[in-house]
Amino acid sequence: MALVISDMSISLDGYVTGPNDSRENPFGDGAGTLHDWIFGNPDEAERAIMQEALDNTGAVIMGRTSFDKCVDMWGENGPVAGVPIFVVTHHEPAERYPSAYTFVTDGVARAIELAKEAAGDKVVGLHGATVMQQALPLGLVDEVFVHIVPLLLGAGTPLFGSLGSAVTLERSDAIVGPSATHLRFRVVKTGG
Amino acid sequence: MALVISDMSISLDGYVTGPNDSRENPFGDGAGTLHDWIFGNPDEAERAIMQEALDNTGAVIMGRTSFDKCVDMWGENGPVAGVPIFVVTHHEPAERYPSAYTFVTDGVARAIELAKEAAGDKVVGLHGATVMQQALPLGLVDEVFVHIVPLLLGAGTPLFGSLGSAVTLERSDAIVGPSATHLRFRVVKTGG
């Protein structure tokens, strides 16, 4: 059964984008270096983290906000070539998009169900903050993988939003790379 | 010259206390385990982190909010026995407090100046979120040391507040302990 993993680069103060993020400025102000470790990184251990994520991902879920900001940047294949993307949205867009993208209008739980079917034994990757914040309190996130980049943004989109109550995690891996600190956690307990 | 170091335990989502923190509930709801690594920890590397901080600290600065919440818990010696504490506040309290505490009414920069004089070659420790958020944009913080505990609180007091612009850090140490991930950063660039 596919594991659902939130896998995101964040600043030390927890932002996935800086302020003023938009379709023209998808990373937001000051946040370009958040993703530097992914591209052309000479470090073997950090390259392996990225390659493993690409190899293991069987489906991607994202919110409409992330989709609108990132679709131009990603183009028709989406973030992971050959992998279906499920976009959680209130309304299907009027514009036509490549077939990699499926729009799900009945909520994040349904999107996760569809993505798990599509992913088979591979991982369902949650992209962006919104879907993670919706899915976590429902107990639908198995793991949280963060790549902590040495940067403070002070504003933007925080990965973790407000939660009804404390969530207990268990660190399952830690890779101290030259560009970021890569920490993987299992979600042990949500709520209560 | 004394280095100014913010040294705090935080949840993975960046909070130093949970919601509803008060004098009676200084850690806030759900945040008790944030400090478990400090007390009675059998792990030698994590014990050494704490001992080193205690040995190296020559003065402590905190805001009035932290002081009001923590003074009962700490008692007359403050957080580090034998070390003077400078409390940044708008008004001196009417109540008398032990001589370890000095109240500074002319701002965080003045408190840091006094604390550096008192600390000599030792470290000035910033305790709490407020003083760090005031001092960082002024370029008065040399290092940020965070102990990231595997917990999501979703609300409470965030260590890092809003900043005028992105701050660049450089990770200078990383200790992956059983209870927390201990990351030390040098502040490379504030603002601009």
Confidence of residue A81 (pLDDT cuts 50, 70, 90): confident
Q: Is A186 exposed, middle or buried (0-12, 13-18, 19+ CB in 10 A)?
A: middle
Q: What is the mean pLDDT of chain A?
A: 94
| Cβ pair B160:A13 closer than 8 A | yes
Across residues B55-73, what is the average pLDDT? 93
Q: pLDDT digit string (tens) for B9-33?
A: 999 999 999 999 999 999 999 998 9
pLDDT band at A78 (very low <50, low <70, confident <90, very high): confident
**Which positions in chain A touch B164 (Cβ < 8 Å)?**
154
| Amino acid making up residue A95 | E
The DSSP call for residue B179 is S
CB contact under 8 A, B168 and A151: yes
Helix (H) or strand (E) holding B186: strand B181-190
pLDDT of residue A165: 83
For residue B171, give the nearest of A144, A150, A154 by CB distance. A150
| A74-88, A177-191, B104-118: least confident range | A74-88
For residue A102, give both structure tokens: 């499926």
Residue A80: the pLDDT is 87
Q: Which domains does chain B have, with CATH numbers?
A: 4-18+28-190 (3.40.430.10)
Residue recorded with tokens 């800086």:
A18
> Where is pLDDT greater, at A73 or B180?
B180
Closest CB from B29, B30, B169 relative to A152: B169
3-state secondary structure at position B83: coil
One-letter amino acid of A11:
S
Residues A134-182: tens digit of each pLDDT:
999 999 999 999 999 999 999 999 999 888 888 999 999 999 999 999 9
CB contact under 8 A, A12 and B146: yes
A166·B151 Cβ contact <8 A: yes
B131 pLDDT exceeds 60?
Answer: yes
Q: Does residue A192 have a pLDDT over 70? A: no
The CA radius of gyration of chain B, in Å to the nearest whole number, is 16
More confident site: A78 or A85: A85
Question: Is B156's Cβ below 8 Å from some Cβ in A?
Answer: no
Q: Confirm or reject contact between B174 and chain A (CB < 8 A).
A: yes
Q: Do B174 and A169 touch (CB under 8 A)?
A: no
* Nearest in space to B152 (alpha carbons), one of B47, B45, B19: B19
A162 → closest Cβ in B30, B154, B185: B154
What integer is the mean pLDDT of A10-14?
A: 97
**Radius of gyration of the CA atoms of chain A, in A:** 16
**Residue A162 pLDDT:** 87
Cβ contact, residue pair A154, B162, below 8 Å:
yes
Per-residue confidence (pLDDT) for residue A188, from 0 to 100: 95
What's the confidence (pLDDT) of residue B192? 56
Read off the tokens for B153.
């609180």
Which pLDDT does position A98 carry in this prediction?
85
How many other CB atoms are there within 10 angstroms of residue A18's CB atom?
A: 23
B-chain CB neighbours of A168 within 8 Å are 150-151
Measured distance CA(B145)–CA(A151) in Å, rounded:
13
- The whole-number average pLDDT for the span A113-125 is 97
Q: What's the confidence (pLDDT) of residue A67?
A: 92
Q: How far is B14 from chain A (nearest CA, A)?
A: 6
Residue A54 has pLDDT above 70, yes or no: yes
Partner A contacted by B152 (CB < 8 A): yes
Q: What's the CA gap between A145 and A9, in Å, rounded? A: 9
Whether chain A has a CB inside 8 Å of the CB on B192: the answer is: no
From B18, B136, B151, residue closest to A168, measured CB to CB:
B151
Q: B151 to chain A: which residues are within 8 Å by CB? A: 166-169
Contacts of A103 (CB under 8 A, 6+ apart): A86, A87, A89, A92, A93
pLDDT > 70 in chain B, percent: 99
Q: Percentage of chain B with pLDDT > 90?
A: 79
Mean pLDDT, residues B143-172: 94
Cα A144–chain centre separation: 9
In this prediction, residue A118 carries a pLDDT of: 97
Position B165 pLDDT exceeds 90: no
Backbone angles phi, psi at A122, to 5 degrees: -85, 180
